[in-house]
Amino acid sequence: MLRIATCRPLPEPDPDENLLLAALAARGVAARMVAWDDTNESWETGATLIRSTWDYVHHLDQFLRWIDRAARGLLWNPAAVLRDNVHKSYLLRLAAAGVAVTPTVLATRGSQQSLPDLAAAARWHDVVVKPAVGAGSFATHRLQDVSSADSRRLFDELLAQYDMLIQPYLESVEGHGERALVWIDGAFTHAVRKTPRFAADVEVVSEALPIAADERVVAEQALAAALAGAGGGAGVDTHDLLYARVDVARDARGRVVVMELELVEPSLFLLQSPLALERFVTAIAARLV
Ligand SMILES: Nc1ncnc2c1ncn2[C@@H]1O[C@H](COP(=O)(O)OP(=O)(O)O)[C@@H](O)[C@H]1O
Ligand SMILES: [Mg+2]
């Protein structure tokens, strides 16, 4: 029996869930959904597939302990990859490894850094601020005037509670759009375009789109760097990774940059690609025998 880790209540519906359950059942794989923080479950035995554990960002320490527990059984993705990916400081590690990422400054929780100073040092005026541990656009804001009293107050309040990322606002999210490249068991399957989404907005995604050549190159570099650096440099084999999503945008000069590398609980937009669903179920079934 495969356990699929979710959360209760789900902050938003998961369109992948029923598709995956039905396709697994059709393949003869018995699976059931369990909230990751359900303490009645024997997580250390059997197999666990992480999917919609979207509330972990509010319970990070507990989630990391849960990963340790579930990793005593079979767990996808592998624990070393998960631990590296829950805090978006991984963007800085990817940048250090030579991957093109959205320019990012990290401000540590409780530090007294001011938004105008941080933005001035980076020469940014129109910025996005977001918690380093975040999902679903939680507390993510575009601040077009970094020195306004409202912007400063909002940032100060957030920095008192969270490690924060500051990035330039990438205008390309409005035109070409942010593209999510879905990767399953060794190959990219499809991309979708996501509309811009800040705190309180609803996510709208396109049908499956072809993957642009330059987007694929950057996404492959991001995945390779994340795998090579996992576990403090010990590395994780590509074959141990089951799923991934690389979200990319374009900077002011049109170059592809990584917005986010999702290795914990990405939506895989399976509705948009029956082939991706098929590939996912085949990969899961193969790992369970
Ligand atoms: N630097 C940025 N420029 C433009 N839009 C951004 C930027 N950072 C985030 N956004 C918008 O906010 C959304 C959420 O940010 P993201 O980094 O993907 O975090 P998460 O999806 O984990 O909440 C993005 O999908 C995008 O619409
Ligand atoms: Mg995102």
pLDDT tens digits for 36-94? 999 999 999 999 999 999 999 999 999 999 999 999 999 999 999 999 999 999 999 99
Rounded CA-CA distance 142/129 in Å is 7
Would you state the structure tokens that stand for residue 198, as one six-digit string? 């800040």
Beta strands across the sheet bearing 31-35: 31-35, 2-6, 47-50, 74-76
Question: How close is the Cα of 260 to the center of ligand 2, in Å?
Answer: 6
Across 237-255, average pLDDT: 96
Question: How close is the Cα of 191 to the center of ligand 1, in Å?
Answer: 17
On the question of a cis peptide bond just before residue 77, with omega within 30 degrees of 0, the verdict is yes
* Spatial contact of 265 and 220, defined as CB atoms under 8 Å apart: no
**Sequence-ordered list of residues with C-beta below 8 angstroms from that of 86, at least 6 positions apart, any chain:** 56, 57, 60, 63, 64, 133, 264
Q: What percent of the chain has pLDDT over 70?
A: 100
Q: Report the predicted TM-score, pTM, of the whole model to 2 decimal places.
A: 0.97
- Give the ligand whose atoms come closest to the C-alpha of residue 132: 1
If residue 183 lies in a helix (H) or strand (E), which one and from where to where?
A: strand 178-184
How far does the chain reach from its first CA to its final CA, in angstroms? 11
DSSP 126-168: SEEEEESS--TTTT-EEES-TTSHHHHHHHHHHHHHS-EEEEE
Rounded CA-CA distance 244/91 in Å is 15
Which position has the token pair 């590398």? 261
Q: Which atom of ligand 1 is closest in space to residue 197's alpha carbon?
A: 27
Residue 133 has pLDDT above 90, yes or no: yes
Kindly state if the Cβ of 103 falls inside 6 Å of ligand 1.
no
CA 242 vs CA 17, 21, 48, 57, 201: distances in Å: 16, 17, 12, 22, 30
Rounded CA-CA distance 65/69 in Å is 6
Mutate to test the pocket of ligand 1, among 101, 130, 172 (most ligand atoms within 8 A of CB): 130
Question: How close is the Cα of 134 to the center of ligand 1, in Å?
Answer: 10
pLDDT bracket for residue 207 (50, 70, 90): very high
Q: What percent of the chain has pLDDT over 90?
A: 98
How does pLDDT run across 158-200, given as a tens digit for each residue? 999 999 999 999 999 998 899 999 999 999 999 999 999 999 8
Mutate to test the pocket of ligand 1, among 58, 88, 128, 142 (most ligand atoms within 8 A of CB): 128
Q: Which atom of ligand 1 is closest in space to residue 127's alpha carbon?
A: 1
- Give the ligand whose atoms come closest to the C-alpha of residue 137: 1
Question: How close is the Cα of 198 to the center of ligand 1, in Å?
Answer: 7
State the average pLDDT for the chain. Answer: 97
pLDDT value for 79 = 98
Kindly state if the Cβ of 195 falls inside 6 Å of ligand 1.
no
How does pLDDT run across 219-243, given as a tens digit for each residue? 999 999 999 999 999 999 999 999 9
Across 126-144, average pLDDT: 97
pLDDT value for 203 = 87
Residue 289 has pLDDT above 90, yes or no: no
Closest CA to 266 of 90, 104, 136: 136
Residue-range domains of the chain with CATH: 2-83 (3.40.50.20), 85-100+172-268 (3.30.470.20), 105-169 (3.30.1490)
Across 140-148, average pLDDT: 97
Which position has the token pair 């938004």? 115
Kindly state if the Cβ of 172 falls inside 6 Å of ligand 1.
no
Kindly state if the Cβ of 55 falls inside 6 Å of ligand 1.
no
